[in-house]
Amino acid sequence: MNPNIPDPTKAGAVAGAGSVSGRRRRKAGGLQRPEGPPLVIQRLSLPPTATDARRQRRRASAKAQRLIAHQCADLEEAARIVQCGRAAFSTSGVVLKRSAEGLVYPSGVVTCGSPWSCLRCSYKIRAKRARHIGHAVGTHIAQGGGVLFGTFTMSHDRGEDLDGLWEILSLGWAHMTSGRKWVDFQSDLGLVGWIKSVEVTHGANGWHPHIHVLFFIDAPMNDFDREHEYREFRRGLRSRWIRWFARKQNRNVSQEFGTRFDPVKADESDLIGTYCTKVGYELSMADSKIGRSEGQRHPFAIAHDAANYGDKADVMLLREWIVGSKRKKSIHWSGDQVKGYVAGEVDKTDEELAQEEQVGDESLLVVERDLWQRLISRTDGARSDFLQVFEDGGDTFDALYFLAELGITAEISEDGPVAMLRLDQGNHQPKPVQED
């Protein structure tokens, strides 16, 4: 049992336990490193998500997870993804919790911590990273600094393997941000740090990894303020990027499209974090970007297509993605001043963020381990629909009726700090189900 996950059957294990009913509870100064009390990151506020869209997202995630279990089970890198959100740590069961936004989720289950291949973890990780980035950008601008948003791409051909392209991209960035010339460049332009993220899509020309970077400057920089410095900044970065790829990799990078730089306006600071970490973030909202589309596809869209259409080429792409993205960092921060804006949050790993729960989330009930196993073993979306019962305002008795419709007879026990839902002792055989 994971020592960080409390035993739900012990008193105090579910602090803040509430009723099992379906009711819902409803910067200034110079550019020195910030001082004063520690930063308090506000509770994550999820974008509005309709009930049907949330159900669609859960079903899409479960379907992709089953595909990975069937088609990628031989990959060591896929082992934790298959168990994510399903396997319980405690022998007693899992605790269903509800966030302030009404999202019901199981606590005390395995999390894989993958921002690349798991819809569940990606949504949690990237949403939190987006908050941190948005706070850093907003604080820096409020203190009189400037932020530039840059994108760096490279040429690539169909058939090149993902791991090799990712390595070349990383080497290009390492070259550009090293050496005496880079130190002088930072000093001349007042560059105090940056935040870098990697995005990968796949299209007609194969895998397309590219970099998004937020550059933190000591003063505003755009076409109207410090025009000469702004021009030199763009020219210097573009030149270093293009020259390295031409000399070391024999790759042509477009002068026009290889790099791009845009000043971040003060009124955009709340959105830029979301934009910079949009890989997986928008997709986990189950919006129109999930599924078969023209042009570039995100890996989550590839997984969705593979699960829905059974294309073997998509399955092979997904396998390559799971292996190639393993152990890659999704976000990198540089510069003590920039890190100081969100002190204590930068060093958290993706897995730590995936496991992290909001303090004060309402504990609804404990689902006994055997009952939980019965739900997750089904292939008809029963797990997602079970959680949806509570998100729709249902209570424990509504959950009993839902289970009865599945041919599962359960009972309620109120011996612990919160009610437990468990299999009836005489309930042995599950009702046959149909595939989605």
The domain limits of the chain are: 51-110+361-423, 119-355
CA pair distance 147, 262, nearest whole angstrom: 9
What's the average model confidence in pLDDT over 282-293?
A: 38
| pLDDT surpasses 50 at 48 | no
Q: Taking a C-beta distance cutoff of 8 angstroms, is the pair 106, 353 a contact? A: no
CA pair distance 415, 422, nearest whole angstrom: 12
Q: Output the pLDDT for position 319.
A: 95
Q: Where are the alpha helices (DSSP H) in 249-331?
A: 269-276, 278-281, 299-309, 312-325
Higher pLDDT, 227 or 299: 299
Q: Output the pLDDT for position 392.
A: 86
Percentage of residues of the chain with pLDDT beyond 70: 76
**260 beta partners:** 151
CA angle 133, 137, 139 (to 5 degrees): 115
What's the average model confidence in pLDDT over 83-93?
A: 84
Q: Output the pLDDT for position 276.
A: 57
Q: Which two tokens stand for residue 247?
A: 């000399």
Q: Which stretch of 250-254, 406-410, 428-432 has the lowest confidence by average pLDDT?
A: 428-432
**261 beta partners:** 150
Q: Tell me, what DSSP letter sits at residue 388?
A: H
Residue positions counted in the chain = 436
State the greatest distance between any 2 C-alpha atoms of the chain, in Å, as a whole number: 79
Q: Taking a C-beta distance cutoff of 8 angstroms, is the pair 134, 272 a contact? A: yes
CA pair distance 416, 413, nearest whole angstrom: 8
pTM (2 decimals)? 0.76
Residue 341: band (very low, low, confident or very high) from pLDDT cuts 50, 70, 90: very high
Q: Taking a C-beta distance cutoff of 8 angstroms, is the pair 335, 194 a contact? A: yes
What's the average model confidence in pLDDT over 83-98?
A: 86
Q: Which stretch of 7-16, 81-90, 93-102 has the lowest confidence by average pLDDT?
A: 7-16
Q: Taking a C-beta distance cutoff of 8 angstroms, is the pair 133, 273 a contact? A: yes
For residue 267, report the phi and psi dihedrals to the nearest 5 degrees: -80, 0
Q: Output the pLDDT for position 402.
A: 92
Residue 426: band (very low, low, confident or very high) from pLDDT cuts 50, 70, 90: low
| pLDDT surpasses 80 at 430 | no
CA pair distance 82, 73, nearest whole angstrom: 8
Q: Output the pLDDT for position 51.
A: 56
Q: Which two tokens stand for residue 395?
A: 């209570």
10 Å Cβ neighbour count for 226? Answer: 18
CB-count burial class (<10 Å; 0-12, 13-18, 19+) for 101: middle
Q: Output the pLDDT for position 358.
A: 65
What's the average model confidence in pLDDT over 361-367?
A: 89
Higher pLDDT, 86 or 179: 179
Helices 162-176, 312-325: crossing angle, 10 deg rounding: 40
| pLDDT surpasses 90 at 291 | no
For residue 367, report the phi and psi dihedrals to the nearest 5 degrees: -105, 115
CA pair distance 43, 41, nearest whole angstrom: 7
Q: Residue 151, Cα to own-chain centre: how many angstroms?
A: 20
Residue 104: band (very low, low, confident or very high) from pLDDT cuts 50, 70, 90: confident
Query: Nearest Cα to 198, choosing from 165, 226, 176?
Result: 165
Q: Which stretch of 17-31, 73-87, 234-248, 325-339 has the lowest confidence by average pLDDT?
A: 17-31
pLDDT in tens, 1-39: 444 444 433 433 333 333 333 333 223 334 444 454 444
Percentage of residues of the chain with pLDDT beyond 90: 24
Residue 52: band (very low, low, confident or very high) from pLDDT cuts 50, 70, 90: low
Q: Residue 101, Cα to own-chain centre: how many angstroms?
A: 18
For the chain, give the mean pLDDT: 78
| pLDDT surpasses 80 at 200 | yes
CA pair distance 76, 343, nearest whole angstrom: 34
Q: Output the pLDDT for position 168.
A: 94
